Structures are given as structure tokens and as C-alpha cells.
Amino acid sequence: MAHVDPSAPLEGKASKETERKLKRESRTQIVSFVFMVFITTTAFLTVASDVIPSGFAIPFILLLASVQVIMQLYYFMHMNAKGTGWVNALIWGGLFVAAMTVAALMLLIGITKY
């Protein structure tokens, strides 16, 4: 592997083990997709129905959103895989700064405006 031509087409098939792993993975991904469709629908129905009081609905849909985002990150984007320590640090660092930004902006704009 001293000189590898990166533009050469990759030949051969994935190994038996890789195939098995990918088959298992696509099953996991379909299950998480169905689950995400389910929680999205739940969130929409919670707001659309008049029976559920908004005092319960607001924290509930925010919780559902967090669950879905974590599923996207860890299943669809594979942040649960091995060797993703830095990736986790970067994204959670970003989310940490973003959360402080949201809190600061909400509070500051509210105070100066009213």
C-alpha cells in the first residue's frame, strides 16, 4: 500500500461479516425511522388536539424533539460508533454554546424591549 491511487474504482464485494453488519444496520435504521415518524406524529397531534392543556403540551413536545434529535445524531449520523469521541465533543460543545446563546438572547431581548 505504498502508493494507492485514490481515483481507482474500488472492486470486490464487501466481506460476509460487513454484509451481515450492514444488514443489521439497515434494520436498525428502519426501526428508528418508524419510531421517529411515530414521535413526530405524536408531537403534531398533541398540539392539534384541543383536549391537551398547553401547560403539558409545551414541555412534552420539547422532550419529543430532544429525543428525535438524539436519535438522528446517534443512529442516522452514527455518533454511537467507536472512535467518535472528538465528534461527540464537537457537537455537544456546539449544543452547549447554542443553548447559552438561546437563553441569553431570549432574556436580553425580552428585557430591553419591554
Partner 1 sequence: MAQNEAITPQILPPNPEKATLEGRNKYLAFWFFLGGETVLFGSLFGTYLGLRSSTEGGPGPADLFHLDLVFIMTMILLTSSLTSVFAVINMKRGNFKMLLVWMWATVILGLGFLGFEIYEFYEYAHQGLGYGVSAFASSFYTLVGTHGAHVTFGVLWITTLLIRYRKSGITLTNAPKFYTAVLYWHFIDVVWVFIFTVVYLLGVGG
Count residues near partner 1 (CB under 8 A). 62
Of 35, 42, 61, 80, which lies in the binding site for partner 1, with binding defined by CB under 8 A? 61
Of 31, 38, 80, 95, which lies in the binding site for partner 1, with binding defined by CB under 8 A? 95
| Nearest by Cα to 68 from 79, 76, 59 | 76
* Binding status of residue 51 toward partner 1 by CB under 8 A: no
Asked if 87 and 79 touch (Cβ cutoff 8 Å), the reply is yes
Asked if 89 and 64 touch (Cβ cutoff 8 Å), the reply is no
Contacts 24+ apart (CB under 8 A), 60-67: 64/39, 64/40, 67/39
Integer Cα distance of 113 and 17 in angstroms = 61
* Binding status of residue 85 toward partner 1 by CB under 8 A: no
Q: 80 or 99, CB closer to partner 1?
A: 99
84 burial class (0-12, 13-18, 19+ CB within 10 angstroms)? Answer: middle
* Binding status of residue 102 toward partner 1 by CB under 8 A: yes
Phi, psi of 53 (to 5 degrees): -65, 145
List binders of partner 1 among 15-44 (CB under 8 A): 15, 18-19, 22, 25-26, 29-30, 33, 36-37, 40-41, 43-44
Which spans of this chain sit near partner 1 (rule: CB under 8 A)? 4-15, 18-19, 22, 25-26, 29-30, 33, 36-37, 40-41, 43-44, 46-48, 54, 57-58, 61-62, 64-65, 68-69, 72-73, 76-77, 86-87, 90-91, 93-95, 97-99, 101-106, 108-110, 113
